[in-house]
Chain A
Amino acid sequence: MLNVSIYRYNPEVDDEPYMQDFQFDTEGKDIMVLDVLEKLKIQDPSLVFRRSCREGVCGSDGVNISGKNGLACITPLSEAVKGNKLVIRPLPGLPVIRDLVIDMGQFYAQYEKIQPYMINNSPAPAIERLQSPEERAKLDGLYECILCACCSTACPSFWWNPEKFIGPSGLLQAYRFLADSRDTATEERLANLDDPFSVFRCHGIMNCVQVCPKGLNPTKAIGHIRNMLIRSAT
Chain B
Amino acid sequence: MGSLRKMSFDAVIVGGGGSGMRAALQLAQSGYNTAVITKVFPTRSHTVSAQGGITCAIASDDPNDQWQWHMYDTIKGSDYIGDQEAIEYMCQTGPEAIFELEHMGLPFSRTEEGRIYQRPFGGQSKDYGAGGQAARTCAAADRTGHALLHTLYQGNLKNKTVFLNEWFAVDIVKNADGAVVGVVAIDIETGETVFVESKATVFATGGAGRIYASTTNAHICTGDGVGMALRAGFPVQDIEMWQFHPTGIHGAGTLVTEGCRGEGGYLINKDGERFMERYAPNAKDLAGRDVVARSMVLEILEGRGCGPDGDHVYLKLDHLGEEMLNSKLPGILELSRTFAHADPVKEPIPVVPTCHYMMGGIPTNVDGQALTIDREGKDKVIEGFYACGEAACVSVHGANRLGGNSLLDLVVFGRASGIFIEKQLSEGITLKEATEADIQRAMVGLNRINQSSDGENAAVLRAELQTIMQNYFGVFRRGDYMKQGIEKLDELRLRVENVYLDDKSNSFNTARLEALELQNLFETAYATAISAEGRTESRGAHAREDFQERDDENWLCHSIYFPGSKEIGKRPVNFTLKTREPFEPKIRTY
Which positions in A face B, CB cutoff 8 Å? 10-13, 41-42, 45-46, 48-60, 74, 76, 97-99, 101, 103-104, 108, 112, 115-118, 120, 124, 126-133, 135-136, 139, 143-144, 146-147, 177, 180, 182-183
Contacts and interface: CB of A to CB of B under 8 A. Distances in A.
Contacts of A99: 508
Interface stretch (B105-113, B523-531, B569-577): B105-113
B146 A146 contact: yes
B114 A132 contact: yes
Contacts of B490: none
A104 B42 CA distance: 13
Task: Rank and list the top 7 A-B pairs by shortest CB-CB distance, nearest first.
Answer: A118-B105, A130-B114, A117-B154, A45-B511, A128-B102, A46-B503, A58-B44
A144 B479 CA distance: 46
A46 B505 contact: yes
A41 B140 CA distance: 36
Nearest to A144: B143
Interface of B: 40-41, 43-46, 48-49, 58, 95, 98-99, 102-105, 107-116, 140, 143, 146-147, 150, 154-155, 157-158, 189, 218-220, 252, 254-255, 331, 334-335, 338-339, 457-460, 501-503, 505-511, 514
B99 to A, nearest CB: 5
A60 B507 contact: no
Given A48-B510, A128-B115, A58 B459 contact: no
B210 to A, nearest CB: 11
Given A97-B508, A118-B104, A50 B460 contact: no
A44 to B, nearest CB: 9
A97 B115 contact: no
B459 A180 contact: no
Contacts of A54: 218-219, 254
B147 A143 contact: yes
Contacts of B154: 116-118
A99 B503 CA distance: 14
A180 B105 CA distance: 9
16 contacts: A45-B458, A45-B502, A45-B514, A51-B219, A55-B49, A55-B335, A56-B335, A58-B44, A58-B49, A59-B43, A127-B115, A130-B114, A131-B114, A133-B114, A177-B105, A180-B105
A54 B109 CA distance: 26
Nearest to A128: B102
A131 B146 CA distance: 20
Contacts of A144: 143, 146
Describe A's contact surface by its main secondary structure: loop
Contact of A52 (B40, B112, B255, B459): B40
A83 B542 CA distance: 51
Contacts of A13: 505
Nearest to B331: A57
Contacts of B115: 127-128, 130
A144 B147 CA distance: 8
B390 to A, nearest CB: 15
Given A118-B103, A136-B110, A52 B507 contact: no
A52 B108 contact: no
Contacts of B102: 128-129
A131 B112 CA distance: 9
B109 A58 contact: no
Contacts of A46: 502-503, 505, 511
B338 A52 contact: no
A143 B507 contact: no
Contacts of B48: 53, 57-58, 146
A49 B511 CA distance: 10
A130 B510 CA distance: 45
B301 to A, nearest CB: 27
Given A53-B46, A97-B189, A103-B189, 8 more contacts: A45-B503, A53-B219, A58-B45, A101-B508, A128-B103, A131-B110, A146-B146, A180-B105
A127 B99 contact: yes
B104 A53 contact: no
Given A58-B43, A117-B155, A183-B105, A53 B218 contact: yes
B173 to A, nearest CB: 27
A217 to B, nearest CB: 15
Nearest to A39: B459
A188 to B, nearest CB: 14
Contacts of B338: 55-56, 74, 76
A139 B115 CA distance: 16
Nearest to A58: B44
B83 to A, nearest CB: 28
Contacts of A56: 334-335, 338
B99 A143 contact: no
A97 to B, nearest CB: 5
A127 B217 CA distance: 33
Nearest to A53: B218
B548 to A, nearest CB: 35
Contacts of B459: 41-42, 45
Contacts of A143: 107, 140, 147, 150
Nearest to A115: B158
A146 B114 CA distance: 26
B261 to A, nearest CB: 20
A56 B337 CA distance: 12
A128 B116 contact: yes
B507 A117 contact: no
Nearest to A41: B459
A108 B338 CA distance: 28
A53 B253 CA distance: 11
B516 to A, nearest CB: 13
Nearest to B460: A42
Nearest to A51: B219
A98 B44 contact: no
A60 B505 contact: no
B58, B103, B189, B457 — which one has the most chain A CB atoms within 10 A of its CB? B103
Contact of B44 (A11, A12, A60, A116): A60
B155 A98 contact: no
B40 A139 contact: no
Contacts of B43: 58-59, 146-147
B99 A128 contact: yes
B187 to A, nearest CB: 12
B509 A48 contact: yes
B105 to A, nearest CB: 3
Contacts of B111: 133
Contacts of A55: 49, 252, 254-255, 335, 338-339
B292 to A, nearest CB: 22
A108 B157 CA distance: 11
Given A136-B107, A144-B143, A53 B99 contact: no
Contact of A60 (B40, B509, B514): B40
A13 B331 CA distance: 42
A55 B48 CA distance: 11
A180 B140 CA distance: 14
Contacts of A117: 104-105, 154-155, 157-158
Contacts of A120: 103
Contact of A112 (B49, B146, B157): B157
